[in-house]
Copies of this chain bind each other. A is one copy, B any other.
Amino acid sequence: MRDNLTNLKYTNELQQKYSNLTRSVNEEFINIHPIQRGGILTPEAYKALIAYADGYSLCDNCLKGRIDKIENPPVIEFLKDSASYFNIENIMPTGAARKAKQIVMKILSKKYPKRKTVVVDSLAHYTTYLAIETNDLRVREVPHEGYPEFQLNSERFREIINYVIKQESEPPLLVVLTHVDYKYGNYNDPNPIGEICQEFDIPFLLNAAYSGGILPIDCKNAHIDFLACSGHKSMAASGPIGLLGFKEEYYEDVMVHSKIEGNITNKSFHNKICTFMGCPPVYGAPLVTLMASFPTIVKRTQEKYVSEESKKVNYVIKNIQKIKDLKVLGVLPKIHPLTNVETECFQKVAETHPRRGFFLREEFKERGIIGMLPGISKEIKFNTFNLTWDQVQYFTQVFMDIAKKYQLL
């Protein structure tokens, strides 16, 4: 071991390089980045994060070798409570919503080896496609109704399901609906699609990465078999953590116990769940911050808070629509505050601006607003979730001021 000299050596320069990793996004700025608003920690989560900062501190009192069986802090209770909240029989944590989707496709592929096609709406997140690809499955998209609303029509799901059955003599393996999509922030009602899936007896997964923790979800009511949520995206948790919700009928398929045995030692690990490689990778801050934020999650998805959040985004939209050559995409009025705006107006400015496409982000940043993509002026994505009304009004004002500066009103 003494000869085991590693190449990179400790130096003061190395120490300096990594010892001051601060976030440029601080309290002085309003961050309207679409994927950041829902993941901002609650004060309770901050406290838990600091308490459970180290390594896998959550496992201090793991007595059964399974994260889902930890009593202190109350992981068991949390999994039950969150299942009750989403109205589905079981919840297990995962590394992220994408992993939940990958797991579901894998276990269904084992259950129905002849079924090879996953039906998805055409606003699905790239990770839905990657979950299909990594399970060696085929994708079959359900078209949206196109520009400018990109609305989904549930009857199109029926058409595509029928098409798959006709083409392949097998039903689709799974239907995935993106509850709220990443691009236009459209809210898609799961109920009619859940009913169609029930009619055809096809498992139904709701990808709630952008909605679970922001909007209420009732899995039973909507005939949802599997739910994928994202703690860091929408549930005020420190990343990475997802949740996989699943109906009791799939319990044995998901909770696959280890059967391997050592050929010499005879060691076995029957208590460990293969699907999660023993324990899913959420052992430290992620799960404990999600738990600490959970009461706030339950509260903020009550009707009165949800409708207040809708009011905020629709207030911004009502105002910015006064700007020339600007078009808000997606279905209006908005339910979810993730918003996509076509800004031909700013694109024209960029053509002759010395900072080109970068001018827009810089104009916002100068005024204390960050989260815009750099270099892009033809489209803006923002999310007003959980901004105060003062911040919403300020953001609107900044938007209008920039438009005014460039004579776009």
Contacts and interface: CB of A to CB of B under 8 A. Distances in A.
Given A6-B216, A133-B274, A134-B274, A126 B269 contact: yes
A259 B139 CA distance: 12
Interface residues of A, number: 127
A76 interface: no
A128 to B, nearest CB: 10
A198 interface: no
Nearest to A44: B19
Contact of A298 (B10, B52, B187, B189): B10
A49 B1 contact: no
A284 B269 CA distance: 31
Contacts of A5: 216, 218
A399 interface: no
Contacts of A269: 126, 129-130
Question: Chain B CB within 10 Å — which of A2, A95, A236, A302 has the most?
Answer: A95
Contacts of A49: 49-50, 53, 285
A184 B303 CA distance: 55
Interface stretch (A168-176, A286-294, A320-328, A387-395): A286-294
Contacts of A397: none
Residue in A55, A282, A289, A292 with the greatest tally of chain B CB atoms within 10 Å: A55
B263 A18 contact: no
Contact of A302 (B10, B60, B139, B285): B10
6 smallest beta-carbon distances between A and B, as pairs = A39-B55, A239-B284, A95-B281, A240-B281, A8-B84, A133-B260
28 contacts: A4-B216, A4-B218, A4-B222, A6-B85, A6-B86, A6-B298, A8-B81, A8-B298, A10-B295, A15-B295, A18-B44, A23-B57, A25-B57, A31-B60, A36-B56, A36-B57, A39-B284, A49-B53, A56-B233, A130-B278, A133-B260, A139-B262, A238-B285, A239-B281, A239-B283, A239-B286, A240-B282, A240-B286
